[in-house]
Amino acid sequence: MPEPELIPDSTQNNRWSPIEMGVLATMVVVFLAVSLWRQTVEGIAHNPYDTIGIIVAAGLTLIMYSFLYRDNPLFKIAENLYVGISLGYATVMGWREALRPEVFDPLFRAPTETVLYDTLLHRSVPIILGILLVTRLSRKYGWLSRYSFGMLIGWGSGMGIAITTHTFILKQLETAIGPFQGAGQHAAVVPFSWPWMTAVALPILLAGIVMIGTVAVLWYFFFSVEHKRAGGALSKLGILFLMVSFGASFGYTVMGRVSLLIGRVQFLLFDWLKIPR
Amino acid sequence: MNASQTQSKKLRQAGIVRRVIFVLVAVAVIVPYILKPNLPGEPNHWAEEVYKRVDTLKPGSHMMLAFNFEPSSGAELYPMVRVVLMHCFKKGVVPVLMTHYTNALNLMKQVVAESATQAKKKWGKDVQPGKDYVILGYRPGDEMLIVNMGENLKGAFDKDLDNRLTQNMPALKGVNSLRDLDLAMDFASSGTTQMWIAYGSDKFGFPLVAGTTAVQAPDLYIYLPPSGQLKGFLGGLRGAADYETLLCRSDNVAVEGPANKGMPSQSAVHVMLVLLILGANVRMIYGKFAGKRKV
């Protein structure tokens, strides 16, 4: 006879055992009781919107964290609520802050004829191009959106290519070769002295490492030639540099995720449970 | 025990281990709030550079704060904006806030209100909208908006978030484009900093610093000096804590602030994770040797 599962394996099935259902119901009751105790009935009466908002936010936070145990209907509800509210809020704010003041009001609520003519003169083309973008949703008339996309891509390329080349390539190249150029400016410094080491040798060494690493990583991604012998060794060096950078990114990402958890814990402790700061 | 039972047992064990780690992380975050340890920490060089840039601004200078994050990144960036705004109010610098995100608008108002309250409490500064600060709000367009602001700021934002005309606003006196700014800072949860560097500071020549989430931080080191495209930068909650430390030291008061409150928990979790990773690696290497010896 198989042993009863105290902690069911959630990868095997989605059924909740009676113990799990009981624990979940108890936790909901405890949450409501703690919320009423810490937020107090007076708090709700005095400042209902903020207080109820804190209770709802705390509840949704804990529901989201319930996923760490296993997927559950409450988590699904909270997840869909999050997506829906974000989209709804963004839509309303987009209408309020952009579409209404820039399109609707100048066209349909212009205070004077002069303003209306000015709107028609200066804004009609952008408004029409914006509407044409929406035709993308139609199979029959979707070709009309190409005019708008053409404008967007044309403007983007025209602005972006020069700026991107300057900012992300040329400026970085300048920085990479700068230490080699700068060595000449320190000709008066005594070679192999401490000032020489810090002003000349160390920057050149570091710049050299960066240059070798850049070439090695670029070589790793060059698949037109088989990576054999020296090319293979350079490719392996590129992988090493990539691993170091992924490690640094991973470390920062862990710090970022922990910070988000800390933010939520601060909210739960200081705003929901009202523990003194 | 057959293969599928062994597999099932391993999966169950992995599930238990996973949940134990979650509980350990929760304990590592919560316990420091109860024990309140006083951990030493020195601000890093790039946080000091951002602080110095703001601290050396004269009263009446204009600093643009590009508020480019949503509540989902608020845990890292809200304390950062809060402390930088407090510093601006303390120095009499006029912060000019704008955003590329619709979801950031109410958060902007909230952080300005909180910073203004703190500035009044600590330094007796009574800041007024339209005079001591301005919240321009949101306009669509990303890069186009930056270029538009760079050429005509008041044309890009003819009204602020509270519908005041920007044309003769005292807070924007002398600022007609991004070129007239004394400093700009991008608070970013995505790639907006690169956008501000390319279409903003490189094109219009104003000094730019950044405050980003920790996930974005590694991508921005290449823009710091010697490249100089970014003059300084705050990375994640640690960056916010560094700035709070510098501000408190300038006032000769004990270090405080929401970011610093989170640092003991941050340290505890990092130590715990390092120990777990080391332990797992030791176990793996031991398992490899044990397996070889059996053969």
| pLDDT above 60 for A8 | no
φ/ψ of A13, rounded to 5, equals: -155, 165
- E strands, A43-113, in order: none
Closest-CA residue to B237 (of B260, B265, B264): B260
Q: What is the ipTM of this complex?
A: 0.87
Residue B1 is predicted with a pLDDT of 59
Distance from CA of A124 to the nearest CA of B (A): 17
How far apart (Å, rounded) are the C-alpha atoms in residues A102 and B29?
Answer: 47
Residue of B nearest to A92 (CA): B102
Distant-in-sequence, close-in-space partners of B65: CB < 8 Å, separation ≥ 6: B81, B84, B85, B95, B96, B97, B98, B184, B185, B187
Bigger pLDDT: A73 vs A182:
A73
Report the relative pairing of strands B62-68 and B134-138 from DSSP bridges: unpaired
Show the low-confidence residues of chain B (pLDDT under 70): 1, 292-295
Type and span of the H or E element at B130: none
Contact B180, B207 (CB under 8 A): no
Distance CA B71, CA B85 (A): 18
Contact indicator for B193, B212 with CB cutoff of 8 Å: yes
Quote the tokens at residue A120: 């028609």
Residue A94 C-alpha, separation from nearest chain B C-alpha, in angstroms:
6
**What confidence score (pLDDT) does residue B38 get?**
82
CA trace torsion A21, A23, A24, A29 (10° rounding): 130
pLDDT tens for each residue of A225-248: 888 888 899 999 999 999 999 999
- Whether the CB-CB separation of A19 and B23 falls below 8 Å is answered with no
Name which of B208, B252, B200 is nearest B227 in CA terms.
B208
Length of chain A: 277
Q: What is the pLDDT of residue B292?
A: 65
A165-216: pLDDT as tens digits: 999 999 998 888 888 877 666 667 777 888 888 878 888 888 899 899 999 9
Q: What integer pLDDT is reported at residue B240 of this predicted model?
A: 96
What does the pLDDT look like over A95-150, one tens digit per residue?
998 899 889 998 899 889 998 998 889 899 999 999 999 999 999 999 999 999 99
Please report, rounded to a whole number, the percentage of residues in chain A having pLDDT higher than 70.
93
Best residue in B114, B215, B219, B266 for a mutation probing chain A (most A CBs within 10 Å): B215
Q: A116 vs A30, A108, B85, B283, CA distance in Å?
A: 60, 8, 40, 75
- Maximum CA extent, chain B: 84
Predicted local distance difference test score (pLDDT) of residue B98? 96
- Residue B214 has its nearest CB partner, among A164, A256, A275, at A256
The helix (run of H) or strand (run of E) holding residue B159 is: none
d(CA B102, CA A95): 10
pLDDT of residue A11: 47
The dihedral built from the CA positions of residue A33, A36, A40 and A41, taken in this order, carries a sign that is negative
Collect all residues of chain A within an 8 Å Cβ-Cβ radius of residue B265.
258, 262, 265
> Distance of alpha carbon A14 from its chain centroid, rounded?
31
CA-CA-CA-CA torsion sign (B249, B254, B255, B256)? negative
- Please report where in the chains the tokens 């290449």 appear, as a residue: B222
Q: What angle in degrees, to the nearest 10, is found between the helix axes of A73-94 and A48-65? A: 130
How far is the alpha carbon of A195 from chain B, nearest alpha carbon, in Å? 19
Predicted pLDDT at A21: 84
The reported pLDDT for the residue numbered B147 is: 94
Q: Do A168 and B16 touch (CB under 8 A)?
A: no
Mean pLDDT throughout A50-60? 92
* Best residue of B35, B76, B204 to probe chain A, by most A CBs closer than 10 Å: B76
Is B139–A69 a contact, with Cβ atoms under 8 angstroms apart?
no
Helix (H) or strand (E) holding A87: helix A73-94
Strand partners for B138: B99
- Mark yes or no for CB contact A167/B22 under 8 Å: no
CA distance A82 to B247: 36
